[in-house]
Amino acid sequence: MSKQVKMGMLGLALVIPSFLVLFVIVVIPIVISLLESFKDKNGRYSFVNYEHLFTDKLMRSNIIFTLEVTIVSVVLVLIISYALAVYMRFNNGVAVRWIRRTYMIPIFIPSVIATYGLIQLLGNHGWLARILLQAFSVESMPRIIFDKKGIIIAQLWFNIPFTTMLLGSALSAVPNSVIESAKDVGAGFLRIFFKLILPLTFKTLLVAVTFVFMGVIGSFTAPFLIGPNAPQMLGVSMEQVFGVFQDKQMAAAIAFFTFLLCSFMGYFYIQNMIKEERSRSA
Amino acid sequence: MLRNKARVLFMIALSLTFGVLSACGGGASSGTSQGSGSDAKPASDNKSAPATASAKPAEFSFYFTGSQNVKDLWDTLIPMFEKATPDVKVKPVYVPSGTGAQPTYDRILAAKQAGKGSGDIDLYEDGVNYVTRGQKDDLWDTLGTDKIPNLAKVDQKIMKDVANLAVPYRSSAVILAYNGDKVKDAPTTLDELYDWIRKHPGKFAYNDPSTGGSGDSFVTTAIYKFLPEDAIHNSDPAIEKQWDQGFALLKDLGKYVYGKGIYPKKNQGTLDLLASGEVDMIPAWSDMVLDQINKGQLPKSTKMAQLKPGFNGGPTYLMVPKLSANKDAVAKFLNFILTPEAQSVIVTKMSGFPGIQLANMPQEVQDKFKDAAAGFRTFNIGDLGKDISKRWQSEVAAQ
């Protein structure tokens, strides 16, 4: 046996266990729920669930609402995390030290507790409202809890730490020498940022987008507890359709649609990875 | 090439696993957040009843579901029973609410269809929906005073409602809980309540009916207000046509409830609003209110009132699968549950209503339930509740 074939077999042997796990816990359930989602009430195959999903006023507003929350959250998380990571990478001092020490804290707080904390903080008569009333006699605050804004704030809380960590590690991989040499030839900060730093961290940025997107679109706890009654995010709606209306097929259709949205994201991501790989091996 | 493929596979695996993990996370927390708040405790059930190989004491397994307070109740009652009846052992299996009452029922049904008895489930606790469902599937055993003498103490109307197939061992009712400092004359009829809501905009809240029974009760009561009285025992879908007037009322009330149409999630959601003083009146479960006043979570000024006609309340039932092999042992247990001593535990431990008629209980218990007991009604509308939630979601929540 040639060495190459041996290596190939080793490679396959290493991949197969994880592939099998993947197959059993991901691929099979997806296929089952896909089949389930095409069944109508009498067990016959039809498009009735998807028709309902895209024509029902309530469902359509749920989808739009979910996408709105997701996109706004992704954009905000990326802007804030990237700014934070860049700041931590290129500055030193007390502020940076404190940010570095504290920015991971949200990861260690269970999401239910964090969500209730947000309700206490931002609710109608919450701490923030009381502080504003005492200090600035601001009488009325916009509604944050039981509203889209509340969900987005919660998503920021959940997603910023990890994204910052991810981007931070990518930024630390940008060699100082590159930046210094660019500075030597007279490039300004903006120019360095757009010509060097951004392209060098673009791949990680894409990873971060994928992760935040999937995390937000599939989130449940925060939207369930602080979201409005209608429209709902898809996760909440799925739970309601499955658990309360007991319409398994409809829930499967929502689940599959959510999966499609996620795999759409994943597709671009993988596509980009392959391109990268090709250009490297070429 | 191979490396490339492996890498792609890895990436797919990574992204999919992440997606699935986050979905699982959602599922898990949905489990924890159902029921009344902090009921996420894995079933640690086998401790108290080691499976004895010797056949001396008859052992039966008892499946129950509910919030933590239900588990606490059985953790007290079962040792009491085993002490009093040494020849019977109970093997409790706790299914935390939101994680699978349905599978338990399905198990009993599947075992029957497969000809395997009752699937080792000898006693099962759930709401009236499962009693009626089991009635259709012919799953439950008919119970009588010959084996369970204490059944005579139970309200016979309730027994008739469930065709003697289940024991209503405790119940709780939805009542109106209000801030006694702010509300001086609480409404006593439904019309007065709706008037009160309109006159005090933003001071009343009921929870999303699909997330908790108290909001569900408010909604159901409003809908069935316009229907003949016996409609509450009718589970025929034909009746749904008569719901329109009720939904119109709820839609209209939406403008006056908390936040002009905000319906907090879960029974606890509205209780939190009452506790923080954001609203002055809510529908709530009597046992939760009493319990939280005792623990100081709700202010002492919180008062309760039952309307006339009342909100729905309902018993929780114990059912014996017809094919159970341990019916005699179960009958002894059921008889014990209906004694005033065991019933007193229900009152003290979880502030629930006794399942037996109040006249059989000590005087102090009778006094305690004076306010709440009067006139709660038992709704038995089967699967129609599902359609109510569905329609409420699209018509009232999304208006």
Question: Does B162 share its domain with B190?
Answer: no
Which 8-state DSSP code applies to residue A192? H
Q: Are strands B353-354 and B312-319 parallel, antiparallel or unpaired?
A: unpaired
Q: What is the mean pLDDT of residues B285-300?
A: 86
B25 contacts chain A (CB < 8 A): yes
Q: Is the pLDDT of residue B24 over 50?
A: no
pLDDT at residue number A67: 94
Q: Which two tokens stand for residue A107?
A: 């990861």
The verdict on a CB contact (< 8 Å) between B393 and A266 is no
CATH number for the domain that contains residue B107 = 3.40.190.10
Q: What is the mean pLDDT of residues B152-176?
A: 85
Residues of A in contact with B23 (CB under 8 A): 218, 235
Which 8-state DSSP code applies to residue B230? G
Residues of B in contact with A120 (CB under 8 A): none
pLDDT at residue number B256: 93
**Do residues B96 and B43 touch, judged by C-beta distance below 8 A?**
yes
Residue that is written with structure tokens 């016996």 in the block: B230
Residues of B in contact with A146 (CB under 8 A): 259, 262, 264
pLDDT at residue number B200: 93
Question: Does B152 share its domain with B278?
Answer: no
What is the rounded average pLDDT for all residues in chain A? Answer: 88
Q: Which SS3 state, helix, strand or coil, does residue B167 take?
A: strand
Residues of A in contact with B262 (CB under 8 A): 146, 228-229
Residue B52 within a domain: no
pLDDT digits (tens, 9 = 90+) for B65-113: 776 778 888 999 999 999 988 888 999 988 876 555 567 888 888 888 8
What is the Cα B374 distance to its own chain's centre?
Answer: 19
CA angle B126, B130, B131 (to 5 degrees): 95
What is the C-alpha separation between A4 and A207, in angstroms, rounded?
32
Nearest to B29 among A221, A229, A274 (CB): A221
B33 contacts chain A (CB < 8 A): yes
Peptide bond before residue B228 is cis, with ω within 30 degrees of 0: no
Residue B2 within a domain: no
Residues of A in contact with B8 (CB under 8 A): 270, 273-274
Q: Sort residue B59 into left (φ over 0), alpha (ψ -120 to 50) or beta.
A: beta
B window 153-212, beta carbon within 8 A of A: 208, 210
The verdict on a CB contact (< 8 Å) between B398 and A18 is no
A109 contacts chain B (CB < 8 A): no
Residue B3 within a domain: no
Residue that is written with structure tokens 């008037």 in the block: B195
Domain that holds residue B393: 172-313+382-397
pLDDT at residue number B29: 36
Question: Does B258 share its domain with B388?
Answer: yes
Place B9 in a pLDDT band, splitting at 50, 70 and 90. Answer: low
What domains does chain A contain, in order, with CATH numbers? 55-281 (1.10.3720.10)
Residue B33 within a domain: no
Nearest to B15 among A221, A240, A269 (CB): A269
Q: Is the pLDDT of residue B41 over 80?
A: no
Residue B21 within a domain: no
Lowest mean pLDDT among B20-24, B78-82, B104-108, B144-148: B20-24
Query: B145 or B204, which is more confident?
Result: B204
Residue B257 within a domain: yes
Contacts of B122 (CB under 8 A, 6+ apart): B60, B61, B62, B320, B321, B324, B325, B326, B327, B329, B330
B17 contacts chain A (CB < 8 A): yes
- Comparing alpha-carbon positions, the chain A residue that sits nearest to B212 is A244
Q: Is the pLDDT of residue B16 over 60?
A: no
The verdict on a CB contact (< 8 Å) between A214 and B19 is yes
Which 8-state DSSP code applies to residue B44? -
pLDDT at residue number A273: 80
Residues of A in contact with B20 (CB under 8 A): 25-26
Q: Which two tokens stand for residue B131?
A: 């009693």
The verdict on a CB contact (< 8 Å) between B276 and A245 is no
pLDDT at residue number B27: 37
Residue B30 within a domain: no
Query: What are the start-end ranges of the H helices in chain B?
Result: 2-33, 68-84, 101-113, 128-136, 156-161, 190-199, 213-224, 244-253, 266-275, 286-294, 327-337, 340-350, 363-368, 370-373, 384-392
**Do residues B337 and B62 touch, judged by C-beta distance below 8 A?**
no
- Min Cα distance B184 → chain A (Å) is 23
Q: How many CB atoms lie within 10 A of CB B270?
A: 29
pLDDT digits (tens, 9 = 90+) for B361-370: 888 777 777 6
Angle between helices A48-55 and A248-281 (to 10 degrees): 80
Question: Does B254 share its domain with B106?
Answer: no
Nearest to A235 among B2, B26, B262 (CB): B26
- Min Cα distance A134 → chain B (Å) is 18
A210 contacts chain B (CB < 8 A): yes
Q: Which two tokens stand for residue B29?
A: 């927390």
pLDDT at residue number A166: 92
Residue that is written with structure tokens 């630390």 in the block: A172
Q: What is the pLDDT along chain A (282 residues), one digit of tens a residue?
A: 688 888 889 999 999 999 999 999 989 998 998 998 898 878 788 888 898 889 888 899 999 999 999 999 999 999 999 999 999 988 888 989 998 889 889 989 999 999 999 988 888 778 888 888 888 877 777 788 888 899 999 999 999 999 999 999 999 988 888 888 988 998 888 888 888 888 888 888 988 999 899 999 989 999 998 888 888 899 999 988 887 787 888 999 999 999 999 988 888 888 888 887 887 776
- Min Cα distance A117 → chain B (Å) is 13
The verdict on a CB contact (< 8 Å) between B22 and A219 is yes
pLDDT at residue number B37: 35
Q: Which SS3 state, helix, strand or coil, does residue A93 take?
A: coil
pLDDT digits (tens, 9 = 90+) for B245-264: 999 999 999 999 998 888 98
- Min Cα distance B334 → chain A (Å) is 30
B8 contacts chain A (CB < 8 A): yes
What is the rounded average pLDDT for all residues in chain B? Answer: 79
C-alpha distances (whole Å) from B255 to each of A48, A88, A139, B240, B274 are 34, 49, 22, 24, 19
Is the reported ipTM for this assembly greater than 0.85? no
What is the C-alpha separation between B164 and A219, in angstroms, rounded?
45
- Comparing alpha-carbon positions, the chain A residue that sits nearest to B101 is A243
Residue that is written with structure tokens 């080691």 in the block: B50
Question: Does B90 share its domain with B72?
Answer: yes
The verdict on a CB contact (< 8 Å) between A214 and B398 is no
Question: Does B123 share its domain with B179?
Answer: no
B window 282-311, beta carbon within 8 A of A: none
What is the C-alpha separation between B335 and B82, in angstroms, rounded?
13
Looking at the 3D structure of chain B, how many domains does it have? 2
Q: Are strands B166-179 and B353-354 parallel, antiparallel or unpaired?
A: antiparallel
Query: B146 or B44, which is more confident?
Result: B146
Q: How many CB atoms lie within 10 A of CB A108?
A: 7
pLDDT at residue number B36: 37
Burial of residue A117 (CB within 10 Å: 0-12, 13-18, 19+) is middle
Query: B179 or B238, which is more confident?
Result: B179
**Interface size, chain A vs chain B, as Cβ–Cβ contacts under 8 Å:** 126
Residue B204 within a domain: yes
Which 8-state DSSP code applies to residue B180? T
The verdict on a CB contact (< 8 Å) between B26 and A218 is yes
Best CA proximity match to B281, nearest among B246, B257, B309, B264: B257
- Min Cα distance B316 → chain A (Å) is 19
Question: Does B324 share its domain with B280?
Answer: no
Question: Does B107 share its domain with B94?
Answer: yes
B142 contacts chain A (CB < 8 A): no
pLDDT digits (tens, 9 = 90+) for A180-239: 898 899 888 888 888 888 888 888 898 899 989 999 998 999 999 888 888 889 999 998
Q: Is the pLDDT of residue B20 over 50?
A: no
B window 210-269, beta carbon within 8 A of A: 210, 259, 261-265
Question: Does B159 share its domain with B187?
Answer: no
A224 contacts chain B (CB < 8 A): yes
- Comparing alpha-carbon positions, the chain A residue that sits nearest to B213 is A244
Question: Does B256 share its domain with B388?
Answer: yes
**Do residues B29 and A35 touch, judged by C-beta distance below 8 A?**
no
B38 contacts chain A (CB < 8 A): no
Question: Does B124 share its domain with B246?
Answer: no
Question: Does B161 share its domain with B179?
Answer: no
Overall residue count recorded for chain A in this entry? 282
C-alpha distances (whole Å) from B27 to each of A229, A239, B88 are 19, 8, 38
Q: Which two tokens stand for residue B100?
A: 């699978």
Helices (H) and strands (E) in chain B, counts: 15, 9
What is the C-alpha separation between B123 and B116, in angstroms, rounded?
16
